[in-house]
A = this chain, B = another copy of it.
């Protein structure tokens, strides 16, 4: 990788973020909240600047022939910007996750030990299309006392840049230094790659977007990563499952919002249950416009099933398509989930507690459900107030991540001359 002038700026921006993080770290909760509320006001006031920039991205998107769904996620309006502002006000109302004494004790020699939460320092956010991430991530970072370096997708670059400019103008009137919010105004992939290895200046990278983006970050970064969200989620219908619950939950998990990560992608179904309830299941698929891809057993049982292969088991459809696999028992179901799941959200529909216990003990995922839709794996739904993303990794944070995921701890030792 040759170092272009632009890339050198990335390092400079990260250094400035680190410096700003030191100032941010000592602000009171009140000072941070006032700043966030002020940012909200300024976003609402200057919405036209943002809409003008957004129009450039939309124009560009139309020229490139982006899909309607993509264009919809990209498009801003006065109302959407008001939602961003409200999001900042909501984050301001959340409890400050820093300066919390998690535990404290005194050693026999009188040394006082306190384990206290502190900001991580600088967060590197690498994300795709949606401009709301620019505001949401900034709000969560600042509330938790962290500086942030934002690297958004090229399709939203004008919108993102305008949002950050407006926020910078707002920050100038608060106690938070504007250097605490850095925006990498480059569509150059090398700029993203530079962030991967800046261990000295960036404390954590959070990729948000498709599987490819996340993989690229996980594989190439030496900066620690908070891995978020690919959800190849399964609903397993056990032989004892109640038919109404099973179908209601499956349809909800599949169709409520098919494009989100906690939507179901595969139905694993016990053959005995299927034998009894094939008719009801087929009707539910038809009524809800669900396209079935299945193994040979399913092809025989459900008319019109498209043959499923490795691709179907391994990937998210993010549509109203579903992969269906028939199994002989719970063990086979768990093995399938182990082989193809992404450790996000997995459900069992069953009236047999022993099967549920086994499923809960052996399936390795952030969230496990008994007789409920996978759609509840969500910071908002669980009452976390705000969400950085849904961690599919095991270290540091797993499942929906609220503000505490953006903190670390310090052990503070208060002595009077203690030695060993």
Q: A: which residues have CB within 8 A of B? A: 22, 25-26, 105, 107, 111, 113, 115, 120-121, 203-204, 218-219, 222, 224, 226, 242, 244-245, 248-249, 252-253, 256, 360-362, 364-373, 375-377, 381-383, 393-396, 398-400, 408-420
Contacts and interface: CB of A to CB of B under 8 A. Distances in A.
A27 to B, nearest CB: 11
A376 B107 contact: yes
B394 A121 contact: yes
A203 B398 CA distance: 13
Contacts of A372: 111, 413-419
A222 B214 CA distance: 13
A400 to B, nearest CB: 8
Contacts of A375: 419-420
Contacts of A121: 364, 394
Contact of A248 (B226, B364, B376, B417): B417
Nearest to A382: B113
Instruction: State the copy count for this chain.
Output: 2
9 A-B pairs closest in CB distance: A372-B415, A252-B419, A394-B408, A395-B396, A396-B396, A372-B418, A375-B420, A245-B417, A367-B411
Contacts of A416: 245, 371-372
Given A25-B362, A371-B418, A373-B419, 10 more contacts: A25-B361, A249-B417, A360-B410, A370-B414, A372-B415, A376-B413, A376-B418, A394-B408, A395-B395, A395-B408
A379 to B, nearest CB: 11
Nearest to A362: B22
Contacts of A377: 411
B224 A418 contact: no
A367 B224 contact: no
A247 to B, nearest CB: 10
A366 B411 contact: yes
A5 to B, nearest CB: 26
A121 B377 CA distance: 22
A373 B107 CA distance: 13
Given A111-B372, A362-B26, A408 B398 contact: yes
A381 B412 contact: no
Contacts of A393: 224
B381 A411 contact: no
Question: Of A203, A368, A413, which is in contact with the most chain B CB atoms at under 10 Å from its CB?
Answer: A413
A22 B121 CA distance: 37
A203 B256 contact: no
16 contacts: A26-B362, A115-B399, A204-B394, A219-B222, A226-B395, A360-B410, A366-B410, A370-B412, A371-B414, A371-B415, A372-B414, A373-B415, A373-B419, A376-B420, A395-B408, A398-B411
A305 to B, nearest CB: 25
Given A371-B417, A415-B369, A394 B224 contact: yes
Contacts of A420: 252, 256, 373, 375-376, 381
Nearest to A371: B415
A368 B410 contact: yes
Question: Of A111, A203, A219, A248, which is in contact with the most chain B CB atoms at under 10 Å from its CB?
Answer: A111
Contacts of A370: 412-415
Contacts of A111: 372, 376
